[in-house]
A and B are shown apart, each in its own frame.
Chain A
C-alpha cells in the first residue's frame, strides 16, 4: 500500500516570498505523483504531475516540483507567491502502470496562507 505525508499542515508566507510545501511518500512499487490545489469552497484542480522522465516538473500558476526517488519526496515550490495562491494543497500518489485504475492516495493537505 502507498502512503503520503505532508509535513506541514499550515504554511503562512508573505506575498512575493518563496514557498516550499513538503511531501513524502512511501511505496514498494513505482508511483505517479501529483499536486492538486483546492481553493475555498471549490473542487480540486491539478497543479502538476510526475509520471516519468525529467524529475523537475513545471505546472500551472508558476509552481514546480522535484521528484527525488532516493528521499521519496515530491516537494512543491514557487519562487514568488501571490495573494491568490491562498488555498489548500494536496499531494497524491497512484501506482504506476495502470494496474490500480488510477486510484489516488492523498496526503492530509497543507493550507497555504499568503499575507499582504
Chain B
C-alpha cells in the first residue's frame, strides 16, 4: 500500500515549456486535489476532482489544467510554464466519507 505517489520528484523547465505531473493513489479514494506550496503562503488549492471524469477549479487555477481519466490517477498539466509557477506541488486524496486528506511527497518545480 503506497498511499499517494507523485511523479516526478524534481523538474527544471524553461519558460514556455510544458509538462505533466502525475499523482496516483491506491486507497480507492473518490476525491483528489492538487495544491501548490509557496513560502509564507501555506498551501493553495489549484484544482480538485470529486470522481473519475470530473474536475473543478480551486483557488489558483490559472495556467494549469487537470484530468482524471482513471479513479486512481490525477494529472496536473502546465501548457506554457512561467517563472511564477516555480513551486512545490502536492497531490492529496480523501475518501468521500472521511475528512482526512492524505498527501503525496511533493514535486519541486523550477521554471527558469
Complex contacts, A45 vs chain B, CB 8 Å: 103
With A44-B90, A49-B99: A104-B40 Cβ-Cβ less than 8 Å:
no
Complex contacts, A103 vs chain B, CB 8 Å: 33, 45, 48, 58
Q: For chains A and B in complex, what number of residue pairs have CB atoms within 8 angstroms?
A: 56
What are 22 inter-chain pairs, A to B, with CB distance below 8 A? A4-B42, A6-B42, A36-B103, A42-B105, A43-B103, A43-B106, A44-B43, A44-B103, A46-B100, A49-B99, A49-B100, A51-B99, A94-B99, A101-B31, A101-B48, A102-B31, A103-B45, A103-B48, A104-B33, A104-B43, A104-B45, A108-B40
Would you call A55 an interface residue if the criterion is a C-beta within 8 Å of the partner chain's C-beta atoms? no
User: Which one of B42, B101, B102 has the greatest number of beta carbons of chain A within 10 Å?
Assistant: B42
Task: Give residues of chain A (65-116) contacting chain B, Cβ–Cβ below 8 Å.
Answer: 90, 94, 101-109
B103 touches A106 (CB 8 A): no
B100: min CB distance to chain A, Å: 5
Complex contacts, B106 vs chain A, CB 8 Å: 42-43
Interface size on A, residues (CB 8 A): 24
Which of B48, B58, B99, B102 is A32 in contact with, Cβ under 8 Å? B99
Complex contacts, B103 vs chain A, CB 8 Å: 36, 43-45
- Chain A residues near B (Cβ < 8 Å): 4, 6, 9, 32, 34, 36, 42-46, 49, 51, 90, 94, 101-109
B42 touches A90 (CB 8 A): yes
Distance A105 CA – B92 CA, assembled complex (angstroms): 13
A102 touches B94 (CB 8 A): yes
Distance A4 CA – B90 CA, assembled complex (angstroms): 19
Distance A4 CA – B41 CA, assembled complex (angstroms): 11
